[in-house]
Structure 1
């Protein structure tokens, strides 16, 4: 059985205010739609100081999406803790936990862009120590009732710590959180498990994405989709490339042209029948829709989401 996730980051390269507002409004309509059609999760991300308008306020969007949905879990991955006041963040998460009835989970993270730290006048060199102190403050504030209300979930919403290094694995263990490595490296899981046991703690969940395409788009005419809309996918890929710089291991797709992207298969564009076959053969185990990828317009966005929801999902879940 495949897992079906829909994610939003609200990148709209070169978009004007009206275009950007349409993407935000569309995301709420689509959140209600995927909730009604049985998707497994909605995922939001956080970044700041991005020319393309990458989402800086995931808690606001999660609140809006919680208001138009009833059952689908919402995850914020990652929430850049060091860029927030920890006590205020504890309050906001607790309120959101009540609004959503416990449906919002969080992956806490450091971030990897120094410019974001500069924007908020936060120290970069001590970021590892700082994030651990901030998360400890949040957990202690909830436990002691220092901030009110306490979360709806007992003792708090589902929390993970995310990262791609042994230090991140050990930090997750010290904090008593589940762990979400940035990539499926068995050594990171082993580091986390060993650190938990050394501290006398039972390891929590370790959640990694299965092998396969990072993002899936469904259409009856893949060649036409690439020709008309491929530049939106390329904008998404190249923006991440620019951010990661020398950290090439974290670049999902190093392509520099639409043609290279088609061959790479990291951003998969396929027909419903092809996707059903890939799921049944377990070539694809995680279907991540990205309906506004790189500012993708409404028509191809809705076509892909509807084909995934109304054709592919019923076929593989029958």
Structure 2
């Protein structure tokens, strides 16, 4: 069966505190619904200082998602690890791992926005050093044994539930990220379909003598919204998809590589491009069949400030008219 994902980043450029609170509560209800219906994963992410209320605090939000569910995994993709105090991050992730029975997956990224580092009083030029320290500290802390940290001996408790440590992947689109994952013996999650980077990762693993694997995104990873009438949905709600596409495009300059990268300037171009897709249930099933067991269906029910009721329509269509056919 294909991997099925519900993405939640809580973006709403027109939100008030009250409406944003309602959106958060709706996201928790959607999470519980996805869990009950057998969807594989909830995915959330991290950005700071965005004027559209993009989720800045994935750890507490992941905790609420895990508390609202019983089976589904929650993936942080990605957590910007250099922005955190490494010891506190080790504690927080250990507690979430214990409370959820190992259902939290963390993709540790380095980020690509210097302004996020400036806002957190972190040195953008030292981001690689900070990422190394964060990952090395997590792995040492989760053993439960004393270890050296910045010239002193520390010990972090409690030990996590998952052994040898909570699920942790290194994300990125650079050779430096691939080398880092290989050196530490951690799985590597490229931020786009980059087969040459996967080969580089495995070559470096062989040099370091470490274990590991690569979770390569498919060549196409569209964000899906379901509707019985896609033409009508594009006309009414396409601006929400375009909003997120344009926001991402404004951040992803230069060498940044991403599985979700749009160059569309208007709704018509966005629809033609295919990065964001509004599909019927039948079209969704056909898309899954094309991808087979390796297919990944990513629903984005609250994309770009999408009205909550429309997000529910999409999610229910998927659960009632797509999931049963995928299971069959």
Instruction: List gaps (5 residues or longer) in structure 1.
Output: none
Residue 159 (structure 2) aligns with: 150
Residue 136 (structure 2) aligns with: 136
Deviation at 1:249, TM superposition (A): 4.4
Counterpart CA distance in 1 for 2:38 and 2:11 is 25
Residue 317 (structure 1) aligns with: 327
Offset from partner CA, 1:150-197 (integer Å, 9 cap, x none):
111112111100000111100111122100011111111111111111
2:144–2:157 CA contact under 8 A, matched in 1: no
Counterpart CA distance in 1 for 2:94 and 2:181 is 21
Q: 1:244 aligns with which of 233, 239, 252?
A: 252
Q: Indicate the RMSD between aligned Cα atoms, in angstroms.
A: 1.4
Deviation at 1:144, TM superposition (A): 4.0
Offset from partner CA, 1:234-283 (integer Å, 9 cap, x none):
00000001111334643611101011111111111011112112222338
My pick for the range that moved more, 210-219 or 253-262, is 210-219
Residue 181 (structure 1) aligns with: 190
Residue 240 (structure 2) aligns with: 232
Counterpart CA distance in 1 for 2:297 and 2:109 is 24
Residue 54 (structure 1) aligns with: 54
1:212–1:286 CA contact under 8 A, matched in 2: no
Offset from partner CA, 1:105-151 (integer Å, 9 cap, x none):
10011000000100011011111122101211121122243111111
Offset from partner CA, 1:14-47 (integer Å, 9 cap, x none):
2211221111000100000000000111111011
Deviation at 1:316, TM superposition (A): 2.2
Counterpart CA distance in 2 for 1:247 and 1:235 is 22
- TM-score for the superposition, normalised by structure 2: 0.93
Q: 1:254 aligns with which of 251, 260, 263?
A: 263
Q: 1:169 aligns with which of 169, 175, 178?
A: 178
Q: Does 1:3 align with 2:13?
A: no
- Paired residue total: 317
1:4–1:39 CA contact under 8 A, matched in 2: yes
Q: Does 1:294 align with 2:304?
A: yes
Task: Show the 5 A alignment for 1:1-80.
Answer: 1-80=1-80
Counterpart CA distance in 1 for 2:256 and 2:135 is 28
